[in-house]
Chain A
Amino acid sequence: MTLGVALGVFGAAIAAGLGGCGSALGMKYAGEAAAGVLSEDPNKFGPCLVLQALPGTQGIYGLLIGFLVLNKAMGVTDWHTGLFLLATGLPIGLVGLISGMCQGRVAAAGVMLLGKRAGELAKGMILAAMVETYAVLALLMSFLMFNNI
């Protein structure tokens, strides 16, 4: 086991771990709001579930980068490459954490919107998707970094 491998694994841990945390927190906010709306009108389960699922993508992006980085880290021999892999995990890890949380807040607001106006699912979805843009960009950055190793 070399320092390079350890650093690379650390990068994978940051990507998958923080990304997952962001999604979990985001889904928590949206899910709590959804349960509140469902107590009034159980028929809105489908749309509420869609809104709750939206902040789930950060975790998947994190997992994706984490998996790629982990695969590569196992064959690393020098610590420079390891550090590079660690850096690769940072964008999606950090942005995934923050944007997941924030997207969850917006999705929760979308659920409230849905509670008052049944037909406005699309607007809630789009507002939440705006936040995700930055997770998408971070994923892109992480992926490009990974590809340039």
Chain B
Amino acid sequence: MFSKTLVLGAAAAVALSAGLAGTANAQSRDQIRVVGSSTVFPFTTAVAEAFGRGGKFKTPVVESTGTGGGMKLFCAGVGPAHPDLTNASRRIKKSEVEQCAANGVTQITELKVGFDGVVIANAKGGPAADFKLEHLWKALAKEVPVNGKMVANPYKKWSDVDPSLPNEEIELIGPPPTSGTRDSLNELVMEAGCHKVAEVKQIITDAKALSTACMSVREDGAYVEAGENDNLIVQKLTANPAAFGAFGYSFYDQNRDKLKTAKVNGVEVSPETVQAGKYPISRMLYVYAKNAHVGTIPGMREFLAEYTSERAMGDEGYLADKGLIPEPKAERDNVRSSVTNLTPLKM
């Protein structure tokens, strides 16, 4: 009896592995596949769900692979084995466009989704603050200029950096280096703040060394890496009112009862200030589409139309409910027309 079950089991295993080999190559897709940034993920998934609800097409599958990982998959080639769209929390790089072209992905349409603001916030009970970018840099950089020399960051309290800041220990809970939010912090806070401190440029003349010095974050516990999960940062902030946190706007939007934001360069974060370009820590989010897949993968054109529709990315669209800060109306119209015409990206 047991020998029989064994033989049957073995036969099943063999049949299964034969089945595996059978699926190879013989695949076509009737479902859109999206990869890329975890920052754009909540927005693209909302669009995918609304698109699937329309009933004509299957709901697209959206993977969260990070911007860089998504670009790699996206640029790997044309055909049903490769994703149709990729989310990006930054613009596609020239090197990535070249990589794409080398694999036959020559025509790419760029869709500007809208803005993502990075907020600096703390618990309701904590102190109010108005940071200047250079304050943030001085508080977080590994080495800062003191008396004409770069020394290991001596600042213990925010008020040491600038008397106008709260008299509290410096503690900023933020994303780890793998996160797209960290990329924005590096670029929009560390780099921009660094360039406002004139002494740094006088001390370090080499451009490369300057950029490294600007981007290096201190490792003595003042900057706390909290993992990819922004909910965790919110929890830590409520537990520790003296600490500040840096995370995406949508998480602040959902936790207004627990958190308050700090001003940056005197500007309060809000959809209006981000739209107007006044709030300094915000970035554009992108989705890239493979033109070659329009027509071969069902629903590509319709999905892009849904994404750029007013009910999605408009001022009162469902993406705004999810925490996206929409672009101004004129810009949205531009995006819509370039996506409808599948205008290929030119670098």
Question: Are A and B co-members of a single complex?
Answer: no
- Which A residues are within 8 Å of any B CB, using their own CB? none
